[in-house]
Copies of this chain bind each other. A is one copy, B any other.
Amino acid sequence: MNGKILSMQQAVARYVGDGDSVAIEGFTAFICFAAAHEIIRQRRRDLTLIRMTPDLVYDQMVAAGVAERLIFSYLGNPGVGSLHCIRRAVEDEIPHPLALEEYSHFGMVGRYTAGASRLPFFPLQSYAGTDLPAVNEKIRFVASPYSGEEIAVVPPLHPDVAFIHAQRADTAGNTHLWGLLGMQKEVSFASRHVVVVVEEIVDEEVIRRDPNRTLIPGLIVDAVVHEPYGAHPSYVQGYYDRDNRFYLDWDPISRDREATEAWLEEWVYSVADRAGYLTQLGDERLAGLAPGRMVADGVNYGRYD
């Protein structure tokens, strides 16, 4: 067991400082609420929060007052409605103002990719003829040296730290992820520090028997946190389903500032860690999220010696 295995409390204490830029990614899946709640508990401030879809995870963090800036592409409670806490911050400066830096999904995809690839810019067919470049000076245009046609570009993005949830990793941080890959690989390569949070820690041989499934190499991983159900109420493919009841419940809670603070008190501040959160949630609630089995057929890589 090497030194990369940390508790979430240790990982946040070590890799998240006031004023840092933090990316808790995962497109509608693998959203590491466990990391978000620990950051709230440790009362970080003035963070720049980076996510394509801020989702409930950043709605909660903004309500808790940890953020001063948001870099994103879609502000919504997927399938339900608005993110009321973020709207309160933007529309009414509650609990305090929140600066927005806004892209389209493809723009965020491009910023992560340019960051991961050490490119000065990423070209994409978007933005021309819209009002987005007028409100974000980082969106610019370059002329092709072949056709002369103009194409939009976005600059690299380098979060100070990324929290990436996945199914399994070995103790060195070599990580297998299956299902929606989102931009987990690119944001990891783009970030200065990477914390991988997994449902299971597995033997190195499990990873090496399927190297094409390795999305993130331990080489770029600073810490590995073993946190089962760490993505609840979002989901982990093959491990648990999205807890949609919570996504629906959050709508009325988040519309009301006091109800939101009461929720944060009950589910974040007054629990010590993820284990405490899960105990409070109850086994029955978790059992109801278990999917059936659909197992991929094994493939033979062959032994060549």
Contact = CB atoms under 8 A, between A and B. Distances in A.
A220 to B, nearest CB: 19
Q: Assign chain A's interface to a size class.
A: 35 or more
How many chain copies does the complex carry? 2
A301 B209 contact: no
Interface in A209-241: 209-210, 212-213, 237-239, 241
Q: Per DSSP, are chain A's interface residues mostly helix, strand or loop, or mixed?
A: loop
Contacts of A147: 120
Given A123-B119, A151-B119, A241-B304, A213 B145 contact: no
A16 interface: no
A65 interface: no
Interface stretch (A80-88, A174-182, A249-257, A264-272): A174-182
Interface string A115-149: 00011110101000000000000001110111101
A297 interface: yes
Contact of A121 (B144, B167, B181, B241): B144
A144 B120 contact: yes
A302 interface: yes
Interface in A264-303: 291-303
A114 B141 CA distance: 17
A206 interface: yes
Given A145-B140, A237-B302, A300-B238, A209 B295 contact: yes
Nearest to A180: B212
B121 A125 contact: no
Given A298-B295, A300-B238, A212 B181 contact: yes
A238 B211 CA distance: 13
29 contacts: A120-B123, A120-B144, A120-B146, A121-B123, A121-B146, A141-B145, A142-B145, A178-B299, A178-B301, A179-B301, A209-B297, A210-B296, A210-B297, A212-B213, A237-B301, A237-B302, A239-B300, A239-B302, A241-B304, A291-B302, A291-B303, A291-B304, A293-B300, A294-B300, A294-B302, A295-B298, A295-B299, A295-B300, A296-B301
Given A118-B125, A292-B302, 17 more contacts: A119-B125, A119-B151, A120-B123, A120-B147, A120-B149, A121-B144, A142-B145, A146-B155, A181-B212, A209-B295, A210-B296, A212-B213, A238-B301, A238-B302, A239-B302, A241-B302, A241-B304
